[in-house]
Amino acid sequence: MATHPSNPTRAWLATPLCPGGIAVIQVDAGAEDIRTPSLDATLEALTGRSGWPPATVRRCDLAGIDEGVVAVVAPGGAMIMPHGGVRIVQRLLLRLSELGVRLVPAEEIAPEQLYPEAASSIEAEMLVTLARAASPLAIDLLLDQPRRWREAGPRPLTNEDRARSHRLDRLVRPPSVVVAGPANVGKSTLTNALAGRTVSIAADLAGTTRDYTTGTIDLNGLVVRWFDTPGLRDAADEIESRAIALAANLMRSCDLLIAMTDAEHDWPDLPRPPDLRVAGRCDLGARADADAVVSAKTGEGIEAFVRIVRERLVPAADLAHEGRWGFWDRGRAFAP
Ligand SMILES: Nc1nc2c(ncn2[C@@H]2O[C@H](COP(=O)(O)OP(=O)(O)OP(=O)(O)O)[C@@H](O)[C@H]2O)c(=O)[nH]1
Ligand SMILES: [Mg+2]
């Protein structure tokens, strides 16, 4: 079937653009008619099959790109569910765009439209946030929010609720953690041990890390953006001193600054006071003036260190608190 010349239909990718089992592309043609012709036309052009009244669910060919499920979930609204390969999704979106469908980012879609099955607007907001949350620790807490808001009625959040909400937001958007200290104290080895993979090259050579490196690390349920920085020393060359200056900016702006040293070195002089002091390589010699003492080689102290980092960023008391969390995007109007 030919491309619809004035197709008013919009589509957006409801799942992240990364490999997954199934991807969901939502299509919306507006809800003016019980059977909106442009949705029918779009789905017919895509699948080669005609007749798409509400509540139709079919497994069909998707423009020769993949085979998947198409469901008309509301008047004028459908979900296209191919396999979750990135290339499949990109080709399907391109095909939809060739059919005259306007592709829009999912962020522009109202939560109630993204989740028509939600029982209230706060439940729709919760589902949007759940889909974006980085930390597994967010899940139970978010799922309980509609009940908490319903039961609290119209009472506004207290200042204490707001401060706690601000910390809990770190479960949605990963906070930044920077580890900084003298060269060769084990910063990169610790980073790799926490990540369970190589984020940074570690070697018995001062100045091994040149530019800072970064990766997301799951600290027992709290996902953080971790930055490993070049060892602080009188720079041997221009590039190294520029890399150290770049890392200094990170240290000023991060959510948690960790100073690291070992028994052989002094504490570093950082651009701002650190939030936490960790002594590394404790199997070679420990020191008593640190908040945590670890050996990335033997694993000693790592669990306790992770607990302390978590506690500084999202305290256990916040996670256990029964109060409400104002989790939705700040500034967006919302009436519970
Ligand atoms: N025995 C022991 N050796 C360690 C430990 N952690 C790191 N090392 C060794 O110490 C050396 C330096 O480790 P790195 O992790 O590269 O140190 P760094 O602080 O990142 O160094 P720069 O990148 O130069 O700033 C390497 O040979 C590591 O294998 C530890 O806990 N115990
Ligand atoms: Mg390093």
Q: Which of 179, 201, 258, 281 to mutate to test the pocket of ligand 1 (most atoms within 8 A of CB)?
A: 281
Ligand 1 mean position to 279 CA, how many Å?
12
Q: Which atom of ligand 1 is found nearest the CA of 209?
A: 23
pLDDT at 74: 84
Superfamily of 10-109 according to CATH:
Probable tRNA modification gtpase trme; domain 1 (3.30.1360.120)
CATH number of 176-313: 3.40.50.300
Q: Which of 178, 179, 184, 228 to mutate to test the pocket of ligand 1 (most atoms within 8 A of CB)?
A: 184
Which protein residue's CA is at the shortest distance from atom 7 of ligand 1? 186
Is residue 20 classed exposed, middle or buried when 0-12, 13-18 and 19+ CB atoms within 10 A define those classes?
Answer: middle
Q: pTM of the prediction? A: 0.80
Alpha helices in the chain (DSSP H): 37-47, 86-98, 111-114, 121-132, 138-143, 145-152, 159-168, 187-195, 238-253, 302-313, 316-320
Q: Which of 280, 229, 235, 236 is nearest to 252 (CA)?
A: 229
Ligand 2 mean position to 242 CA, how many Å?
16
Name all residues whose Cβ lies below 6 A of ligand 1. Answer: 183-189, 202-204, 206-209, 230-231, 280-281, 283-284, 295-297
pLDDT at 7: 65
3-state secondary structure of 256: strand
Q: Which atom of ligand 1 is found nearest the CA of 231?
A: 25
Nearest-ligand number for the alpha carbon of 183:
1
pLDDT at 236: 65
Distance CA(149)–CA(154), nearest Å, equals 8
Residue 57 amino acid letter: V
Which protein residue's CA is at the shortest distance from atom 2 of ligand 1? 281
Q: Crossing angle of helices 37-47/86-98, nearest 10°?
A: 130
Q: Where are the domains of the chain?
A: 10-109, 114-172, 176-313
Ligand 2 mean position to 191 CA, how many Å?
9
pLDDT at 333: 43
pLDDT at 72: 94
Nearest-ligand number for the alpha carbon of 233:
1
pLDDT, mean of each 10-residue run, the chain (336 residues): 63 86 91 68 96 95 97 91 96 95 89 85 91 90 96 92 95 95 94 88 78 90 94 77 85 97 96 97 94 96 97 97 86 41
Distance CA(185)–CA(258), nearest Å, equals 13
Ligand 2 mean position to 210 CA, how many Å?
8
Please, are residues 90 and 103 in contact by the beta-carbon 8 Å criterion? no
User: Tokens 């990364």 belong to which residue?
Assistant: 18
pLDDT at 210: 78
Ligand 2 mean position to 240 CA, how many Å?
12
10-109 shares its CATH topology with 176-313: no
Ligand 2 mean position to 136 CA, how many Å?
29
User: Tokens 């085979």 belong to which residue?
Assistant: 67
The CA-CA-CA angle for residues 303, 305, 308, to 5°, reads: 115
Please, are residues 312 and 276 in contact by the beta-carbon 8 Å criterion? yes
pLDDT at 336: 37
